[in-house]
Amino acid sequence: MKITDIKTYLVGNPWKNWLFVRVETDDGLHGIGEGTLGQLARTVEAAVHDFKPFVLGFEPFQVEAIVERLSRDVFADGAQIKMCAISAIEIACWDIVGKALGQPIYNLLGGLCRDRVRAYANGWYRCPRQPQEFAQKAKEVVRMGYTAMKFDPFGTAWRRIDRADEDLSMDIVAAVRESVGRNIDLAIEAHARFEVSTAIRIGKRLEPIAPAWYEDPITHHNPRGIREVARRINVPIGTGESLTSRQQFVELLRGNAIDIVTIEPLHVGGILGSRKIADLVDGHNGVIVPHSAQGPICTLACLQIAACTPNFYMQEYFEPFNVTWEQDLLTWKPKLVEGNLEIPKTPGLGADLILEAVKAHPYHAEPDMALWEKDWQFRRSK
C-alpha cells in the first residue's frame, strides 16, 4: 500500500478556521488528519502541499520514517507551522494503519489503559465579563454533566494588570467556585498574559480557590520563568501546549517544578509524538492534559492518546460550545457520560469526514478572534 495523494480542506468555524487533510492510498484506503493553527490555517495548508513530494510513495505504516523525513530532511525549523503540517499527515497515516489492521489506534500503541476519558469543558463562558455571568454559565456546564472546566477571567491583560481589573478577575474566579462548589475542578487559564512577578502575585491570590491548575501564566519562551512561578506558589502549573519538540519539554521538566503538561498533539508530531512526550513526562512523575482547542479530528486524536497513556489526567473539550453544525462533520462523535467522554471502538480514529458537510462551510477570510481584543471570550471573527 502506497500513499498516492494528500488533499486538504479548510473549514470556516466562525472563530478559527480548521484545516483537515485526507491522505489517500493506491488500494483505496484513506485516512483523515488535522493541522489547524488559528490565523495561519492557509499557511499550514500550503506547508502540507509543500510536503507532499516527500511523502508520496511511502507506505502509511512508515509513520516514523515519514515524520523524520519531514522534520529532519526539510531543513527548516518552522515550529508550530511545520509541526501542524507534519501532525496532520501523521494522524491520517495512523488512521489508515488502524483501518488496514481493523483496530483502533490505541490498540497499536499499547492498548486501553481506561475505558473512558475524563473531560473538562472549555469555550463555555461566552458571556459578559462579570462574576454573575460567569457563575451562571458555570452552573450550566455542571448541569451538562462536566466535573471540571477551564476559563480565562483576565480580560485583555498583557504583562501586567491594573488593580481594579485584577480584582474583577479574582471576583470572577470566586463567583465560579461558589456557584459550582468545591467538588468541581477549576483550571484557570492565563494565555501567557503575564510576566513573572505578576504571575506569582496572581497565583498566590488563586490559592484559596484551590484550582486544579493555573495554565500558562507566562510565555512558553521562558521555561526558567515558568519554573520560578511554579516554585513560588501553592497551585499546580499547567503548561506545554505551545512547545514543538521533545528538547523543549526536557528543558521545561528540568528541576521537577512542572508536573501537569498540556500537550498539543498538532504541535508535536501527532499521536505517536504525543505518546513519546507523555513517556518523558511520566519519567518526571507528571501527568498530561491533551490540549484540543482545534477541530473535531484533533479531539479524535486526543481520545486515542488518552485511551492508551498511563499518565493521562484530563481531556480538553470544546465541541458542545462550538457551532452546532460541527456535529455534522464526522460520522461519529463521543458522548459525555458522567463527566467522561466515550472512547471510539472502531478501526483507526473511529470516524470519517462527511465531505458534503465539510464543503458546506468554506474558509472565512475575516481575522480570527484575538485574545487581546475586548470581549474576545465571545469567540467571534472580526
Which residues are part of the catalytic machinery?
A: 191, 291
Q: Which residues pair with 18 in a beta bridge?
A: 11
Q: Which residues contact 351 (CB under 8 A, 6 or more apart)?
A: 300, 330, 331, 332, 333, 344
Residue 275 has a CB neighbour count (10 Å cut-off) of 22
Alpha carbons within 13 angstroms on the beta-carbon side of residue 218 total: 21
DSSP 3-state of 32: strand
Q: Which residues pair with 30 in a beta bridge?
A: 24
DSSP 71: I
Residue 325 has a CB neighbour count (10 Å cut-off) of 12
Q: Which residues pair with 348 in a beta bridge?
A: 104
Among 334, 351, 373, smallest CA distance to 158 is for 373
Among 102, 3, 7, 21, smallest CA distance to 61 is for 3
Paired sense of beta strands 18-25 and 237-239, if any:
unpaired
Cell output for 348: 483507526
CB 215 within 8 A of CB 188: yes
Rounded CA gap, 28 and 42, in Å? 27
